[in-house]
Amino acid sequence: MNPEKVVFGFFIVLALTLNFGFFVGEIDNPDHHHVYELFAVVVVNLIATLLKFGDRTQMGAVLLATSLVAVMQLLAAALIWAVVEHTSGSGMTPAMMASIVSLSGGAMLANVISVVLLVIETVMLRR
């Protein structure tokens, strides 16, 4: 067993599961989506992205691309959350929460693609 592959797979799957946990709930209800959970999703996705930089294969390039998409959408969601909470006078509105959760959903789709590609790559390995 290759410990590097275990860590790599762990962070890819953890990124997906944390993102799913943030995404689930009423899309416009801030009580169903916690800011610390979004923070955890961003951090784990950044770690997963960093782990993908060493792979020089075509599959590695596609995995890196999906991870970069997820990180960009999650950072946009975090930026919207920060702007809404700290600069707007109205605070978190249902429309803004829906935008944040929608961006998280796009990142989750990118994470699903990463996990599917990882499974495909694993199945294609021959001993």
- List the pLDDT tens digit at each of the 127 positions of the chain: 788 889 989 999 999 999 999 999 999 998 899 999 999 999 999 999 999 887 788 888 999 999 999 999 999 999 999 999 998 788 889 999 999 999 999 999 999 999 999 999 888 887 6
Confidence (pLDDT) at 27: 92
Residue type at position 70: A
Confidence (pLDDT) at 90: 82
Question: Which distant-in-sequence residues (6+ apart) come within 8 Å of 58 by Cβ?
Answer: none
The domain limits of the chain are 3-125
Confidence (pLDDT) at 82: 94
Judge contact between 43 and 94, C-beta under 8 A: no
Distance CA 51, CA 9 (A): 10
Residue type at position 68: L
Confidence (pLDDT) at 97: 94
